[in-house]
Structure 1
Amino acid sequence: MRALRAELSKLATLPFTWIAAAAGIIIPTGISIITSATSTPGPDTGFAELAVGVLGAIVLGVNAIGSEYTTEGEESAGSRQITTTLTATPSRMRVLLAKAGAAIIATALLAVVAIAIVQATVRITLGDAAPALDADAFARMGGAALYWVLMALLAFGLTVLTRNGIIPMAILVANSSVVAVTYLLAQNIPAANYLPDLAGMRMFTTIESSVVIAPVTGGIVMAGWIAVLLIVAGVVFSRRDA
């Protein structure tokens, strides 16, 4: 628990954490305002926006471990923060679990806040035309929150493997906002629907595809991908040089 508290405290002091929080709230809220004013409400209103807002979760996941691989400056002979972290906590698995735990907690909190604000925004702008807040809506909100957490862990695992935050962030951010490469692949390759991001999105949005994946199945598929990635990342992190 002490290691987890330390990592949460460290994460809270990093500038990118607050940039991620701002992006995770402002982007989906802004999109929900625009779509509510310019398009007809549909079943994905208040949810599709969260698929883009996941950018905040991605940045959090990368930042939780990526900051350890930046050089500290000339006064420290260009060493990286990970060296100091492992000196203070020699158990590499404890360090990795604490960092993953901090990413999960921070992302879950961000997701809850973002989802609440987006849903409130939709209801304020659409009034009675807003989708009903029924049991299905709350289940989809839970699915969206889980999706954000799993995407943060996907970013976290990739950053552990690459020891570089720029590469995972560039790939995942671009795929979630500018060019959805996995979605394009799924149009021609049915198996691509089972890639982690597309499978996970079934938990809270509808995707036009010839492959039908139930929300629970989508969550299980995505969680399976992330579990394998984290296991591989843990093995690599434990065995290689810092």
Structure 2
Amino acid sequence: MIALVRSEATKLLTTKAVWILAIVAVLATWPMSMTNSATPPNLPADSELLFSSAPIPLDYQGFEMAGFGYVLVVAIASLWAGSEYGGDGQIRTTLLATPKRLRVFLVKIALLAFVVAVTGFLTMTGALVITHAVGEAGINPWALTPVIWANIGGVVLAWTFTALIAFAVGTIARTAILPLILISPLVIGVGDFLVGLWPGAKALPTTAGASLYSDPATGLFLEPALGGLIQATWAAVLVAIAAVTFTRRDL
């Protein structure tokens, strides 16, 4: 088992695309948070020149930056799922070295969850510290409120569940293309658009996940606990299907 973890970790951590996407998620979000939080001087908070005239509660300010990293997380998971099925047939070598397929699958999703969780924590913690340091809205950036920490945890969970969903879809399809096509549009705004047309869209995996760190008073999202449960169910079901497919399907 130790040898398997070491070999799979080597694959994941030596894939340049994974490092690039993770670093971009962190280092690009921070300056974007700084720019987004810098309010022009002498501009009222309810000015029409601002992005929204409706004030955002302090505990939820800065979490709009989570959407940028969301896309990169889907890309990381998709690449990790599809990398084994490229032209060199790496999956054959993997299973020759470790014939116990379920063990291989579980190690892969555990490593992915770890990388995404760390990336999400670093990204959003830095983004929120910068948001409240630059915005000077009244919250000490070095002593964030319990609600803000809970919302940061919500982003980490939402990103991790979304990554597992993308990985499961990629494993079932044996390609990185399908999860990118299916999940990326939901992440970049299609999910929120569908909520305006059909209330049932709140139960879509990415929209349900967004409820873990979004202001429920807007009416666009489910209650955090319910949204988290729904997204976790999506992830559990798809991961279970992918596990069965991975262990029983011919190469």
| Shorter-chain TM-score range | 0.7 to 0.9
| Residue number in structure 2 paired with 1:23 | 24
Which residue of structure 1 lines up, in the alignment, with residue 180 of structure 2?
Answer: 169
- Quote the offset at 1:212 in angstroms: 5.5
1:6 and 1:85 mapped to 2: Cα distance? Answer: 9
Range 4-13 or range 41-50, more displaced: 41-50
CA distance in structure 1 between the partners assigned to 2:30 and 2:162 by the alignment: 19
2:64 alignment counterpart: 48
Distance 1:181 1:207, change over 3 A: farther
Counterpart position of 1:182: 191
State yes or no: 1:228 paired with 2:237: yes
Who is 2:123 aligned against? 114
Whether 2:208 is the aligned partner of 1:199: answer: yes
Contact 1:122–1:130 at 8 Å: present in 2 too?
Answer: no
Change in Cα spacing, 1:14 to 1:212, as seen in structure 2 (3 Å) is closer
Contact 1:187 1:209 in 2 (8 A): no
User: 1:13 maps to what in 2?
Assistant: 14
CA-based RMSD of the aligned residues comes to 2.1
Distance 2:81 2:31 in 1: 29
Q: How many Å apart are 1:30 and its aligned residue?
A: 3.6
Partner SS state of residue 205, structure 1? coil
CA contact (8 A) 2:185 2:191 kept: no
Question: For the residues of structure 1 that align with 2:130 and 2:113, how far apart are their CA atoms?
Answer: 25
The alignment's TM-score, normalised by the length of structure 1, stands at: 0.88
Q: Does the 8 Å contact 2:207/2:221 carry over to 1?
A: no
Equivalence for 2:98: 89
Shift of 1:37: 2.4
Where do 5+ consecutive residues of structure 2 fail to align? 40-49
Give the distance between the partners of 2:185 and 2:140, measured in 1 at CA: 29
- Alignment-derived partner of residue 47 in structure 2: none
CA shift, 1:59, in A, is: 2.0
Deviation at 1:149, TM superposition (A): 0.7
**Which amino acid is 1:25 matched to?**
V
Q: 1:211 to 1:42 in 2, by over 3 A?
A: closer
Contact 2:216 2:223 in 1 (8 A): no
For residues 101 and 25 of structure 1, the distance between their equivalents in structure 2, rounded to whole angstroms, comes to 21
Q: How does 1:126-145 map to 2 (within 5 A)?
A: 126-129=135-138, 133-145=144-156
Encode CA deviations 1:198-224: one digit per residue, 9 max, x unaligned: 111111013686565211111111000
Q: How many residues are matched?
A: 233
Aligned pairs for 1:206-217 (under 5 A) are 206=215, 213-217=222-226
Residue identity (%) = 30
The structure-2 alpha-carbon separation of the partners of 1:151 and 1:187, relative to structure 1 and needing over 3 Å to count, comes to same
Q: Identify the match of residue 108 of structure 2 among 99, 111, 114.
A: 99
Tell me, yes or no, if structure 1 residue 240 matches structure 2 residue 249. Answer: yes
Note the C-alpha offset of 1:113.
Answer: 1.0
Farther off after superposition, 110-119 or 120-129: 120-129
SS in 2 for 1:203: coil
Secondary structure of the residue aligned to 1:54 is helix
Q: Conserved in 2, the CA contact under 8 Å of 1:28 and 1:53?
A: yes
